[in-house]
Amino acid sequence: MNIILVGCGKVGDALAHKLTREGHNLTVIDTNAEKIQNMTEKLDIMGVLGNGSSIAVLEEAGLEEADVFIAVTGSDELNLLCCMFAKKAGQCRAVARVRNPLYSKELEFIRQQLGISTIINPELATAREISRLLRFPAANKIDTFADGKVRLIKFKLEDAHGVDEMPLKDIPGRMGCDVLICAVERGHEVIIPDGEFILKNEDMVTVLATQEKANEFFKKLGLPITPAKNAMIVGGGDIGFYLAKELLHHHIQVRMIEKDIKRCEELAELLPEATVLHGDATDRQFLLTEGLQMADAFVSLTDLDEENIMLAMFAKKQGVLTTATKINRLEFDDIIEELDIGSVVYPKYIICDFIVQHIRALQNESGSNVKTLYQILDDRVEALEFTVHQESKVTNVPLAELSLKPNQLICCITRGEQVIIPRGSDTIQVGDTVIVVTLAQGLQDLTDILAD
């Protein structure tokens, strides 16, 4: 597809890498000549220097031939203006990043009035992901499918769990739980396992299940399933605000620490049910005095990655069971994943995954298109949810008779309210949604999993 991307900041850079890997023809627009040059040289793409809200600049970028227009500059208003002009002057789908909480209740109205295809708020999406983690403390990462009915949960196997050297095929019988282990990270290797695969302690395991079955499974492993009752949040920015609202909605007590006194006053007014504290979270005595050791969960959301990592490590040392850390820079994610700091959340990955998912769905609006997409285990594995709109080579055939490409696993079928962990005799029907986990990149249609 022909895609125009406005904004060459960190999000734009990460998104450009993903879109070029997907095989799209990409043109980037920015007012910074150095950023344009760096990106075009690295990725061999087209670049246009100028303001993305200028019709002349948009025409130079090839708006008439564009299929998708994406605006991810640092200004919400500029993103919306760019998308509005793109819709008026071209025939493309428009995607805008909008972050300001003031717009959060009006996003659907704005989208409809301006004719924008979709609006993504990465801060709100990040807050919701952290909220899910705090409500299921055994998990390092949780992704949801099938409108929330199915969850993909990542956790680390320890000796105490009692499944060391156990084949996967024995898990349902031994545990009495209908769950599916669909990906395993062992050292630097990522595996899509079959039934003969042997689990080992220290494996990083991704399991697919409904929330109810996940609770049963984790309880059998001796892992905690009780949601946090209280949380300490460091950082009162947009993510902190959204997160506090989410947690309070789920009856979780919130103590929020913020350095800026004016922001503290704003938060105290916006979040009357939360306890807002003015102070420096890097002062260890302040944290201890304000009850860090009594917290069920600790979330570090400052603007400094190093500070977030340090605070999470300190909270772990003080015995806090559940920690979540926001990381902005993507360059050292492989190193950060090895640290014992609990769950790590990358807002830039969240927005990139959302936009890539949206574009894949646009590429195939008939047949079985992508409904949900997550890139997991350091982006080496994709978990996709396909909606089956019409009959094809994969429908009405027992799964055991389908010839799949290597490293493809059909993990779940949802049929109305029914959630099916599939067996060989199950079939895919029109109207189903199907979840696939794969080591391949760029699947656009469910039939792409077939070997022939």
What pLDDT, on a 0 to 100 scale, did the predictor assign at position 23?
87
Q: Give the residue with greater pLDDT, 270 vs 22.
A: 270
The b-or-e profile of 105-140 (16+ CB within 10 A means b, else e) is: eebeebbeebebbbbbbbbbbbbebbbbbbbbbbbb
Residues 332, 247 share a domain: yes
CB neighbourhood size of 45 (10 A): 19
Task: Tell me the average pLDDT across 76-98.
Answer: 90
Q: Is residue 126 part of a domain?
A: no
pLDDT band for position 368 (cuts 50, 70, 90): low
Residues 232, 213 share a domain: no
Grouping H, G, I as helix, E, B as strand and the rest as coil, residue 153 is strand
What pLDDT, on a 0 to 100 scale, did the predictor assign at position 137?
84
Residues 242, 158 share a domain: no
Q: Is residue 125 part of a domain?
A: no
Residues 187, 108 share a domain: no
Least confident of 101-105, 170-174, 191-195, 262-266: 101-105
Q: Output the pTM of the full model.
A: 0.83
Question: Number of structural domains, the chain?
Answer: 4
Alpha helices in 277-420 (DSSP H): 284-289, 305-317, 333-336, 347-363
Residue 206 has pLDDT above 90, yes or no: yes
- Highest mean pLDDT among 215-229, 258-272, 433-447 belongs to 258-272
pLDDT band for position 443 (cuts 50, 70, 90): confident
- Rg, the chain, Cα only: 23
Contacts of 76 (CB under 8 A, 6+ apart): 96, 97, 98, 99, 100, 103
Q: Is residue 247 part of a domain?
A: yes
From residue 180, alpha-carbon distances to 153, 154, 316, 356 in Å are: 10, 12, 30, 26
Residues 182, 82 share a domain: no
Strand order in the sheet with 204-210: 141-145, 150-156, 204-210, 180-186, 189-191
Of 157, 191, 220, the position where a domain reaches its end is: 220
Q: Give the residue with greater pLDDT, 292 vs 162.
A: 292
Residue 355 has pLDDT above 70, yes or no: yes
Give residue 145's identity as a one-letter amino acid code: F
What pLDDT, on a 0 to 100 scale, did the predictor assign at position 223?
86
Q: For the chain, how far is it from start to end, CA to CA, in angstroms?
A: 25
Q: Is residue 406 part of a domain?
A: yes
Residue 2 has pLDDT above 90, yes or no: yes
Of 314, 345, 376, the position where a domain reaches its end is: 345
Task: Tell me the average pLDDT across 8-12.
Answer: 90
Whose tokens are 């490409």? That residue is: 405
Residues 319, 394 share a domain: no
Beta bridge partners of residue 145, listed in sequence order:
150
Residues 305, 234 share a domain: yes
Q: Is residue 14 part of a domain?
A: yes
Residue 140 has pLDDT above 80, yes or no: yes
Tell me the pLDDT tens digit for each residue of 162-201.
Answer: 888 889 888 888 888 888 999 999 988 899 998 899 999 8
User: Residue 415 belongs to a domain with what CATH number?
Assistant: 3.30.70.1450
Of 220, 249, 264, the position where a domain reaches its end is: 220
Q: Give the residue with greater pLDDT, 224 vs 420.
A: 420
Residues 102, 6 share a domain: yes
Least confident of 263-267, 372-376, 386-390: 372-376
The share of the chain scoring above pLDDT 70, in percent, equals 99
DSSP 255-294: EEEES-HHHHHHHHHH-TTSEEEES-TT-HHHHHHTTGGG
Task: Tell me the average pLDDT across 16-38.
Answer: 93
Residue 442 lies in domain: 356-449
What pLDDT, on a 0 to 100 scale, did the predictor assign at position 114?
81
What pLDDT, on a 0 to 100 scale, did the predictor assign at position 304?
94
What pLDDT, on a 0 to 100 scale, did the predictor assign at position 254?
97
Q: Which of 206, 187, 229 is nearest to 139 (CA)?
A: 206
What pLDDT, on a 0 to 100 scale, did the predictor assign at position 116?
86
Residue 277 has pLDDT above 70, yes or no: yes
Chain-wide mean pLDDT for the chain? 90
What pLDDT, on a 0 to 100 scale, did the predictor assign at position 51?
94
Residues 216, 231 share a domain: no
From residue 222, alpha-carbon distances to 202, 225, 295 in Å are: 16, 9, 21
From residue 351, alpha-carbon distances to 169, 203, 246 in Å are: 36, 28, 19
pLDDT band for position 248 (cuts 50, 70, 90): very high
pLDDT band for position 282 (cuts 50, 70, 90): very high
Residue 33 class from Cβ within 10 Å (0-12 exposed, 13-18 middle, 19+ buried)? exposed
Residues 432, 335 share a domain: no
User: Residue 304 belongs to a domain with what CATH number?
Assistant: 3.40.50.720
Pairing of strands 230-234, 180-186: unpaired
**Which tokens belong to 266?**
């704003």
Q: Is residue 297 part of a domain?
A: yes
Q: Give the residue with greater pLDDT, 77 vs 107.
A: 77
pLDDT band for position 367 (cuts 50, 70, 90): low
Residues 113, 161 share a domain: no
Q: Is residue 351 part of a domain?
A: no
Residue 58 has pLDDT above 70, yes or no: yes
What pLDDT, on a 0 to 100 scale, did the predictor assign at position 192?
93
Beta bridge partners of residue 278, listed in sequence order:
258
Q: Is residue 322 part of a domain?
A: yes
